[in-house]
Chain A
Amino acid sequence: SQQGEEDPQALSIQEGENATMNCSYKTSINNLQWYRQNSGRGLVHLILIRSNEREKHSGRLRVTLDTSKKSSSLLITASRAADTASYFCATAVGTPKLIFGTGTRLQVFP
């Protein structure tokens, strides 16, 4: 079963714009991770935020976590055509396995 749900399911933007996608989950977590998947490179880890953290940055990525609302957001700034992919949030709950959300399909037009 899926733990998280991403919103929106699909997002289309122009290069240079920012992209924001949200993830909601159901149970308490140890950490929340974001992954990117495209046909060329498979699933790639982007960033991890622990349950006691509220915000984290990595390059053009900014992740926030609100454990009271059981939600997270991923912001990609100054998007590029190469950012076109599906983005998944994944939660770790007590064991090393990951529980993935349903994904957001991002299309960045040049």
Chain B
Amino acid sequence: DTGVSQDPRHKITKRGQNVTFRCDPISEHNRLYWYRQTLGQGPEFLTYFQNEAQLEKSRLLSDRFSAERPKGSFSTLEIQRTEQGDSAMYLCASSPPPPSGGRDEQYFGPGTRLTVT
């Protein structure tokens, strides 16, 4: 399977602990995105990378959140001092470099479901 992969698929942690998620995009895609989705809502944008550069961050990405893409391939999203409000599905997506023949769609991974107790 050459789609976007995420690890772990599920994470249960206690409040105050740090967690780290990993995303492996489709290999030829240079853009990588992180979204967060809570129950009954649509995904909300967190941040995106073009190659290794983090080009945009949402106000949702508080100082407890940090994302990296050190070699322009896989990315990690770390949440420090987790809070119960961080419980959500964290989705990663990737897209090919422009021009992409009009294909601006994003390809999503299965997500990491975080539960903070």
* Residues in A lying within 8 Å of B, measured CB to CB: 1-2, 4, 30-31, 33, 35, 42-45, 48, 50, 88, 90, 92, 95-103
Contact, CB under 8 Å: A96 / B48 = yes
B72 at interface, CB cutoff 8 A: no
Contact A45 B105 (CB under 8 A): yes
Nearest CB in chain B: distance from A80 CB, A: 22
Is B69 in the interface zone, CB < 8 Å from A?
A: no
Cα A35 to Cα B31 with chains together (Å): 19
| Chain B residue with Cβ nearest A3 | B42
Is A101 in contact with B42, judged by CB distance below 8 angstroms? yes
Q: A48-B103, A98-B45 are in contact. List 5 more A-B contacts (CB 8 A).
A: A2-B44, A45-B105, A92-B104, A95-B48, A103-B40
The stretch of B10-18, B20-28, B107-115 in contact with A is B107-115
Q: Which chain B residues lie closer than 8 Å to A30 at the CB level?
A: 104
Q: Is B62 an interface residue (CB 8 A)?
A: no
**What would 6 A/B residue contacts be, using CB atoms closer than 8 Å?**
A30-B104, A33-B105, A45-B106, A45-B107, A97-B33, A103-B40
B104 and A48 form a contact (CB under 8 A): yes
Complex A-B, nearest 8 residue pairs according to Cβ-Cβ distance, in ascending order: A100-B42, A45-B105, A43-B108, A97-B45, A42-B110, A100-B43, A88-B42, A103-B42
**B108 touching A98, Cβ below 8 Å:** no
Give Cα A16–Cα B33 distance, bound, in whole angstroms. Answer: 36
